[in-house]
Amino acid sequence: MIVLGCDHAGYPLKVEIAKYLTEKGVNFIDVGCDGESCDYPIIAKKLCNKITDGTCSTGLLFCGTGVGMSICANKIKGIRACVCSDYFSAKLTRMHNDANVLCLGARVIGTGTAIELVDIFLNTEFEKGGRHQRRVDLISTLED
C-alpha cells in the first residue's frame, strides 16, 4: 500500500498524482491535507507513521520544493526519504538507498515529470544484499 501526503503548496501536484494512480489501479491512502494552509512537518510525521507502523510500504510527499518534507521525513527512524527532480536519482535511490519515501516539489517540477518519477520510484527494486545492504544497515546505525 502507498500513502500520499502534502501541504497546501504540494496539494495541486498530489491531486494529479492521485488521479494518475487511480487510473493505473494503484491503491493508496491519503493523510491530507486537502488544500488548506498547513505545516508540512505535521503531514510528514503522519505519513511516516503509516510506514513505520507497517500499514504502508511506500510514501509520496508533496510540498513546494520537496525539501521541507524530506528534511522532516528523514528525522524519523526507519524512513529513508529522497527529494528528486530527475529520473536517475529517483531510480537509484530505490536501487542503492532502499528509499521508502519520495518527496516532490510542486513548485519545481511539472506533472509529466512527477508522473515519470513516481513510476520509476514505485517500480524499481532495491539491490538486496552486498554493499548496498551494508550501507543501508549503516544508515540505521546513524538513527541511534
Cell representation of residue 82: 529522497
64 binds ligand RB5 (CB under 6 A): yes
Which of 6, 82, 74 shows the shortest CA–CA distance to 40? 6
Query: Is 63 considered catalytic here?
Result: yes
Query: Nearer to ligand RB5 by C-beta: 59 or 68?
Result: 68
59 binds ligand RB5 (CB under 6 A): no
How many CA within 13 A on the CB side of residue 2?
A: 20
7 binds ligand RB5 (CB under 6 A): yes
Q: Could you tell me the smallest distance in angstroms from the CB atom of residue 77 to ligand RB5?
A: 21
Query: Nearer to ligand RB5 by C-beta: 67 or 122?
Result: 67
40 binds ligand RB5 (CB under 6 A): yes
Contacts of residue 115, defined as CB under 8 A and 6 or more positions apart, other chains included, come to 16, 17, 20
> Can you tell me which of 3, 4, 9, 13 binds ligand RB5, judged by CB under 6 A?
9
Pairwise CA distance, residues 112 & 123, whole Å: 17
26: three-class secondary structure by DSSP? coil
Q: Which of residues 67-96 bind ligand RB5 (CB under 6 A)?
A: 67-68
Do residues 47 and 28 make contact, with C-beta atoms less than 8 angstroms apart?
A: no
Query: Is 103 considered catalytic here?
Result: no
Chain residues that interact with ligand RB5, rule: CB under 6 A: 7, 9-10, 40, 63-65, 67-68
Catalytic residue IDs: 63, 96
